[in-house]
Amino acid sequence: MKRIVIPYKPYLKELAKQLRQNSTLSEVLLWNELKNRKLIGRDFDRQKPLGNYIVDFYSKKLLLAIEIDGDSHDYIYNADVHRQQELEKLGIRFLRFEDLEVKKDIQNVVRAIESWVLENRQL
C-alpha cells in the first residue's frame, strides 16, 4: 500500500521543533506512552507539521492525528474545528483528548487510542 505524503510549509519545521522543546505536561505524559512504538508497535511523531498546521501527535501509517486540548484551545475552538476539517480533507483522522483527562487518567487515554488502532488495524 502506497503511503500518502502530506507536504507542509517549510517554516513550520522550526516552529514544531520549538513546540517539542516546550511541551506541556500532558504532551510529555502521552509522548512517554507513544514513543518507541510502545503502543501496539505503531510509530508516532510529535508536533508534526501537516499542510499549514502542526498536530500534537501523528501516525503516518494510520493517518491518525492525536490532539490534546488544553486551556489554550478554549479561545480558539473555531480555529481548531477549521484546522481539523482542512486536515480531514487530506484523509487524516483525529482523536482528541482533554488536557486534564491525560493528566488524571492516562491509562484510559492509552486504552482509547489502542482501541482505535485495533479497530482500524487494516491500515
Domains in the chain, CATH or no CATH each: 23-119 (3.40.960.10)
Q: How confident is the model at residue 111 (pLDDT cuts 50, 70, 90)?
A: very high
Q: What is the pLDDT of residues 19-62, one digit of tens each?
A: 999 999 999 999 999 999 999 999 999 999 999 999 999 999 99
The 10 Å Cβ neighbour count of residue 97 is 21
Cα–Cα dist 66/100, whole Å: 15
pTM for this entry: 0.90
